[in-house]
Structure 1
């Protein structure tokens, strides 16, 4: 199924930017040395980890745990999740991420590599990894549509 492949691709398109951020810990992206604080390091690592965890949540739109609360959850296990509980946040997230794609496209096309404040040569890499991550929004909207079609439209057809 195509939606399953899209769900697998989302964490992969987010991963390069998560890895790209990590050199900030010792060196800036582009080679200039930095002296980051412990708070800065924690922020960059947490942002990368949370980005990947958020990307992995897209599997809920194609897996059973996105339709029913897992049985191991006390008192709620096995209950059906209302479609809106997944559709609303997924739609909002997809639209916000797609808006970020619009900003990225503007910077990439109107300003060019000067939009990224990195050393020469590093700008192309910055554009590439951030461009990949910006595919997340439209991909999430595709998954949201597939979830809607499977959960809401299929119920209407059966009744």
Structure 2
């Protein structure tokens, strides 16, 4: 039996597909990090994008590590946001066949649910303060830059509630799915 046939044998037919609203929420969650990530990449390329000259120098720093950090942070943030898609797609229920040692096997629900709920907690603590962005002065930014950055980071506030809703949907589908009798 090859890996593809093995994956088909090990798939869990008892898991209902994700509801449409959960698929939409997962896709929106995957996109909320994009505006701030693109902004950080622009900063890494040397564009001030709302910072004063001094502010940009302080943010990026004198070495090449500042831009590398900004790009890496953008890529890792977007990758983390895209993991939400696993809660509504097949690869969140059955490991892809090309994964070493576990390919084609059913993913235990807790392996996805526990990190997802931890992510909700971390994202809530991390991004909720951005609701107060405009109430905080930022002397290293221009007035227009301060407003722009607020709008670019504001979508991140929605990440935690979106992930919570999608995680709850995944949890219910994986635990309350009817068992198919063979």
Shorter-chain TM band:
0.7 to 0.9
* Alpha-carbon distance in 2 for matches of 1:47, 1:150: 32
Runs of 4+ in structure 1 off by over 6 angstroms are none
Aligned-partner Cα distance in 2 for 1:31–1:130: 15
Aligned length: 155
Contact 2:51 2:140 in 1 (8 A): no
Q: Is 1:21 the counterpart of 2:40 in the alignment? A: yes
Give the conservation status (yes or no) of the 8 Å contact 2:50–2:149: no
Structure 1 residue corresponding to 2:88, chosen from 42, 59, 62: 62
Please list every run of 5 or more consecutive structure 2 residues that lacks an aligned counterpart in the other structure.
1-19
Gap change, CA 1:93 and 1:143, over 3 Å in 2: same
Q: CA RMSD in A?
A: 2.2
Where does residue 150 of structure 2 map in the other structure?
127
Determine helix, strand or coil for the equivalent of 1:121: helix
Is the alpha carbon distance of 1:49 and 1:101 closer, same or farther for their aligned partners in structure 2, counting shifts above 3 Å? Answer: closer
| Greater fraction of residues in helix | 1
**Aligned-partner Cα distance in 2 for 1:101–1:42:** 22
Q: Hey, what's the Cα distance between the residues in 2 that align with 1:50 and 1:101?
A: 16
Q: CA offsets per residue over residues 73-132 of structure 1, 9 Å max, x none?
A: 233222111100000000000111112233222x33xx6152584211111111111111
Q: 1:6 aligns with which of 8, 20, 25?
A: 25
Specify whether residues 115 and 147 from structure 1 end up closer, same or farther in structure 2 by C-alpha distance, changes over 3 A only. farther
Q: Are residue 93 (structure 1) and residue 116 (structure 2) matched?
A: no
- The unaligned stretches of length 5 or more in structure 1 are none
Rounded Cα–Cα distance in structure 2 between residues aligned with 1:60 and 1:131: 24
Structure 1 residues 116 and 92, CA gap change in structure 2 (3 angstroms): farther
Instruction: Give secondary structure in 2 for the equivalent of 1:118.
Output: coil
Structure number with the bigger relative contact order (C-alpha 8 A, sep ≥ 6) is 2
Which has more radius of gyration?
A: 2
